[in-house]
Structure 1
């Protein structure tokens, strides 16, 4: 059904789950354009609730509709837009590949071609994560659901393309070092010393196991901190510096590439009640 010209426009909105946990979950509605091309370092697992959710992925325009499961692989470029004039509504969960690795135990990350699946195994395995964001997930429920999702991803993706054995333990040591030293200017030489693995072999293993490069992993963890700081009322400048970026413009460029919108636009889309009182100060000039 087309929207009548006399009907008032509905503003785009995003609701984020505020429950503490390992999985970020959102529900959103967009009337037309949603996001510019960007990349996450997580699996993006979702469900279109209404309308048509269109996106470019792996060189083609895809169309998510109710009944499909969206499965976007870590670090794959994609965008988002309404496929019809009526807009679209969806839920999405962003799942750290390290959680999937905890179940896979060092296998290459499963890749589901096309970004969409009609396989009932993925549909059922993702059900826990696409409940309403106001539905709290118990810790054990979340952990069980991650395991079920990892097994479904592996089954649906099929046998991974052949490659040499991966050094999972060394990659885990490198990841732990990164998380403990985000305030430093981390280098591959530092990761080589921390992991005990030759730096270029480590870099290849890291990509296969976690879906992104060590540098992108560092950048995304710093952006996680930026988002938390912005919601706590920090200005763009203060959040950028506190999270380890050179300056505001450096942070904004990475933020837009990673989330498809600049940081203030990201804040504005959060529905009332999702931002804390005085959650951001718009005195900063947004850099597009």
Structure 2
């Protein structure tokens, strides 16, 4: 990481929610996605990112909201860079917590954000207060109250939407390929193997997959493995073991991809989430 960039990351022991505060100048991170809901506030500068096929410019006080699996990147278009803080909310935790607010979920649905970037001072304040209480390890009752306030406001941005896989607008072949990659996450999957599993040629498969998910299959598999690596590292697994388990050539290979996506090394991420020393 460049000397002028920094990341401060922590994880709440009770909820598993990760909290992150960071500053970047120039290029921040390559396109990637998370398997968590992201909610954050830009503190300083302009945070520029692409998401949902739109370029967004988040300025101080704005709240950004990303769903699991949404591809996004990050850049600082101004010389002073940008600073932001953010929470990573586990989908199962979020669905469970808001179940008292929403009526029973429609069949085959999931929680979704209507907008990616919004101006809402009350939500921005609640996000910042929730971040601060978790990040600084306040008393449990203080953390819980801050999260309740955030959830009370965030539900105004949530709605139930139909899950991706039955959507007739997206090619069936892309979803079949996606399911295959999830099922063979730990294997050295080749394009020929994936094309045979989907009963199409490699070129049609790549076009369908990129149209549906914004990434080529090989890039999607890397992101899938990186998301899994975050979980294993947070549990304390050594980076070298994680790299081997997930099919990376070696620890350095995992480290290069991890750094490009998240802005810190696997060892640093592991240490901040698990409080275990490097191995």
Q: The TM-score by the shorter chain falls in which range?
A: 0.5 to 0.7
Separation in structure 1 between the aligned mates of residue 40 and residue 268 of structure 2, nearest angstrom: 22
Q: Is it true that 1:47 corresponds to 2:33 in the alignment?
A: no
Q: Which runs of 4+ in 1 moved over 4 A?
A: 216-219, 247-255, 266-271, 273-278
Separation in structure 2 between the aligned mates of residue 250 and residue 89 of structure 1, nearest angstrom: 29
How far did 1:129 drift? 2.8
Is this contact kept in 2: 1:110–1:154, CA < 8 A? no
Q: Which residue of structure 2 lines up, in the alignment, with residue 38 of structure 1?
A: 32
- Which of residues 79, 85, 88 in structure 1 aligns to 2:79? 85
Counterparts in 2 of 1:162 and 1:38: CA distance versus 1, 3 Å: closer
How far did 1:34 drift? 0.6
Q: Is it true that 1:101 corresponds to 2:101 in the alignment?
A: no
Number of residue pairs aligned between Structure 1 and Structure 2: 213
Q: Which has the higher strand share?
A: 2
Separation in structure 2 between the aligned mates of residue 82 and residue 41 of structure 1, nearest angstrom: 24
How far did 1:155 drift? 1.5
Separation in structure 1 between the aligned mates of residue 83 and residue 156 of structure 2, nearest angstrom: 28
Separation in structure 1 between the aligned mates of residue 273 and residue 254 of structure 2, nearest angstrom: 24
Separation in structure 2 between the aligned mates of residue 161 and residue 269 of structure 1, nearest angstrom: 33
Q: Which residue of structure 2 lines up, in the alignment, with residue 112 of structure 1?
A: 114
Is this contact kept in 1: 2:229–2:242, CA < 8 A? no
Q: Any idea what SS the aligned residue of 1:74 has?
A: coil
Is this contact kept in 2: 1:32–1:87, CA < 8 A? yes
What 5-or-longer segments of structure 2 have no aligned partner? Answer: 164-182, 186-222
- Which of residues 59, 62, 69 in structure 1 aligns to 2:56? 62
What's the TM-score, normalizing by structure 2?
A: 0.61
Instruction: Give the CA RMSD over aligned residues.
Output: 4.1
What's the TM-score, normalizing by structure 1?
A: 0.59
Counterparts in 2 of 1:129 and 1:71: CA distance versus 1, 3 Å: same
What 5-or-longer segments of structure 1 have no aligned partner? Answer: 1-8, 164-183, 187-215, 281-288
